[in-house]
Chain A
Amino acid sequence: MSETSAQPAHVHAPPEGFWRKYVFSLDHKVIGKQYYALALVAVFTGMFLSWLMRIHLVWPAAKIPGLELMSKAGAPGGIMTPEYYLSLLTMHGTLMVFFVLTNAPFAAFGNYFLPIQVGAEDMAFPRFNMMSFWLTFLAWVVLMLAFVIPDGPPIAGWTEYTPLSAIGKDAGPGMQWGASLWGISIAIFCAASLLGALNFIATTLDLRTKGMTLMRMPLCTWAWFITSCIALLAFAVLLPACILLILDRHAGTSFFIPGGLVASDRLQPHSGGSPLLWQHLFWFFGHPEVYIAILPSMGIVSHILTNSMRKPLLSAKVVIYSMMSIGFLSYMVWGHHMFLSGMNPMSALAFSFPTLTITIPATILTLIWLGSLYGANIQINSASLFALGFISMFVSGGVSGFFLAQPSIDIYLHATYFVVGHFHMVMGVASLFGVFTGTYFWFPKMTGRYMNEGLGKLHFWITFIGTYCIFMPFHYLGLVGNIRRYQSFVDDFMAPYIPLHKFITIAALITGAAQFIFLYNLIYSRFWGKPAPENPWNATSLEWSIPSPPPWNNFGDKHPVVYHDPYQYGVKGSGGDFVMQDSPEPVTGNGD
């Protein structure tokens, strides 16, 4: 698929009027910002929920001010009930995985920058793009409704295993309408994500400008492209699963519910269904989903690190092939979430093998990042600090995967805090660091102003040290057998570890508070930040060749022509030690 030489009439007209400009916009940049705003709301909500959970864990009898307002039934007198803890846990996971980690690094930054980075005027299908954001927003509204209904949000975790999630109100509080709202919300989210993935793929394949071969696309574009291929398959499987779950809950079918169940002293009127079927369908989506969460951040970090180091990565091609391998392998490992689920024990080994194999491309990536730092000229700023921090976090989160990939060890570590530590470090921290890196780096392009560097660095240090303080101890707790998804630790053996849990809670409160520095910085800088030039980082990719913020059709009436890959750093360029992709000047000494 070669690049097109000329683009015909504009993909859409220039926006007129308040609604078309700011609300129902067809402009990928506005849509990207809308996704980002939604992710911000979701992440602060999710963080707030995690504060409530952490406080309750170490001070179970505490009267939390205001909690009774959130839910009279869930926190009478401000004291959290066990079921409400599980509701908060479920909503925390659902919000964070779907509305933050799929939205921010992928939908937000990808929507904003992919078309620009390939030299296009907009995404291939602007109307679908707008629909995909507003469907995501609708999904979020439906999910949040679970907080206001009397029975409260569901208590089955973001994984909503059946039969707990399927038999309805006999399963417990929140499992009547709360769980249904969850199913409907996620089904809508799936449809929205499919539309989004469609756009990313078509735009990358067909709307690249002249000279922009696939290999000349920036690494973050590659990451978004690979992620959208993964997302297409993954969400296409979760959507049917949610539909079948909703039918089991409301239409009396038995896809996931076997016969002979007695819950709340009532014989459940279902038979023949398979709880494992839900797990297979869910994790067939769920595992690729976590790679959807991390790959864009890997791409963003690679892109920004190259710029910060003033030197190309040792091999962009290797990075691209590694990301592709991760994407491909991600579809073969889902059973590692189900080692102890009762599926055939032979298949546990079959799933373990590709899971361990994924270590290879992940290691290649880490070694390339590390190895590229050698001999570089690293510029330290908020963006690069978070990029370097990402590498540290990815290593930390990744090595705990060695343990969990082995079924033998999983016999002991499954469902302990070890697992919680693992996925929080890779998803909750590393992936989020990619979002922070991207924000500090691209803010000047999106707004024409710098973010405050001092505040950015403060944000980095507290977050970097804070997240280590929170999540590293989770691994130790897992080793001694601290079980997850417990609202309280009633075992005698846990008593000596409560002080560690208190330490974690305090670290979480402090680290969470530091995120308000970031929020303040975002809002303040948007309006009063120091004005930034068009290319403040002396970067090479196409987004830095257009004004800040870009005009509605990105490149004005010119269509950029690309002459180089985006890794021309450390060379003699007309503007300094770099050559931009659309600069016709030759690069001496480097092939591209």
Chain B
Amino acid sequence: MASTTAPAVVPQSGAERASRSGIWVGIFAITMSFMAFSSALFVRQGSLDWGHLVLPSILYLNTLVLLASSGTFELSRRHLEFHTAGRVGNSGSGVAWLLATLALGIAFCAGQFAAWQNLRAQGFYLATNPNSSFFYVLTFIHVLHVTAGILAFVYLLGRLTMGNGLVRRSFFDNTAIYWHFMGVLWLYLLLLCRIKL
């Protein structure tokens, strides 16, 4: 039976619970990696050649775009059909909101690329000074992870619009968790860059 409201969030079967554990474990590992980068930044900051970097203002727009994409994702959740067999199907504007999320995600990546162009125009390249090195490394690795999320959206949209139009509920939920984490991670990185760089 299809329903328009999402049933309980806690997954039931072993495989579903495993995929939920998996996404959190993965997020934990990614967090640890960024902690390693952060600690490298703090150590490196102690040396004399630490200059000052003016963050390109487009970063703030990109932040809004990324946060908005989390919003559109949750909006799509309200419009999709949640079946009791742990499947999600299209209904109403669900796919449209997902497409918006995808577009915003791609816009974020494009915006980050623009930020890099802006820095290059100012003469800040990867090796110019340690601030720029960390800026490029942190933002690039973040974009790589965001791209993985974008690929997940492409898959989601593909499943919802083709074949039987159904996708596993656990995949949908886990993509959401991952995507929101990308936003949270970005807020942390932005803060780090603002304060430290």
Contact = CB atoms under 8 A, between A and B. Distances in A.
Contacts of B26: 198
A236 B29 contact: yes
Contacts of A425: none
Interface in B160-178: none
Interface string A221-238: 000000000001101110
B48 to A, nearest CB: 7
A253 interface: yes
Given A254-B127, A255-B44, A271 B49 contact: yes
Interface in B21-74: 21-22, 25-26, 28-30, 32-33, 35-37, 39-40, 43-44, 46-50
A144 interface: no
B14 A4 contact: yes
A201 B21 contact: yes
Interface in A235-263: 235-237, 239-241, 243-244, 247, 251-255, 258-259
B14 A207 contact: yes
A7 B127 contact: no
A346 to B, nearest CB: 17
A7 B13 contact: yes
A134 B33 CA distance: 22
Contact of B19 (A202, A239, A281): A202
A247 B37 CA distance: 13
B148 interface: no
A120 B22 CA distance: 16
A277 B14 contact: no
Contacts of B13: 4, 6-8
Contact of B29 (A194, A281, A284): A194
Contacts of A255: 40, 44, 130, 133
B44 to A, nearest CB: 6
A264 B17 CA distance: 57
Contacts of A237: 32-33, 35-36
Contacts of B35: 237
Nearest to B46: A274
Nearest to A241: B36
Contact of A8 (B15, B29, B47, B50): B15
Contacts of A324: none
Given A233-B32, A240-B37, A243-B137, A273 B18 contact: no
A241 B141 CA distance: 13
A247 B137 contact: yes
B22 A244 contact: no
A186 interface: no
B87 to A, nearest CB: 12
Interface residues of A, number: 45
A205 interface: yes
A462 B17 CA distance: 48
A244 B14 CA distance: 39
B168 to A, nearest CB: 11
B144 to A, nearest CB: 11
Contacts, number: 122
Nearest to A9: B15
A280 B35 CA distance: 13
B107 interface: no
B114 interface: no
B21 A259 contact: no
Given A237-B36, A244-B137, A273-B44, A198 B29 contact: yes
Nearest to A271: B49
Contacts of A253: 126-127, 130, 133
A124 interface: yes
A277 B18 contact: no
A11 interface: yes
Contacts of A551: none
Contact of B32 (A11, A236, A272, A274): A236
Interface in B139-194: 141
Contact of B25 (A4, A6, A198): A198
A11 B48 CA distance: 55
Interface string A123-138: 0110000000000000
A125 B21 CA distance: 11
Given A7-B13, A232-B25, A232-B28, A207 B18 contact: yes
A277 B40 contact: yes
B22 A247 contact: no
B15 A273 contact: no
Given A125-B18, A202-B21, A272 B49 contact: yes
10 contacts: A4-B17, A124-B19, A194-B29, A205-B17, A206-B15, A243-B141, A254-B127, A272-B47, A272-B130, A284-B36
The 8 closest A-B pairs by CB, nearest first: A252-B127, A124-B18, A236-B32, A272-B49, A4-B14, A206-B18, A272-B47, A206-B17
Given A124-B21, A240-B37, A244-B137, 6 more contacts: A6-B13, A197-B25, A205-B18, A236-B30, A244-B40, A272-B44
Interface of B: 13-15, 17-22, 25-26, 28-30, 32-33, 35-37, 39-40, 43-44, 46-50, 126-127, 130, 133, 137, 141
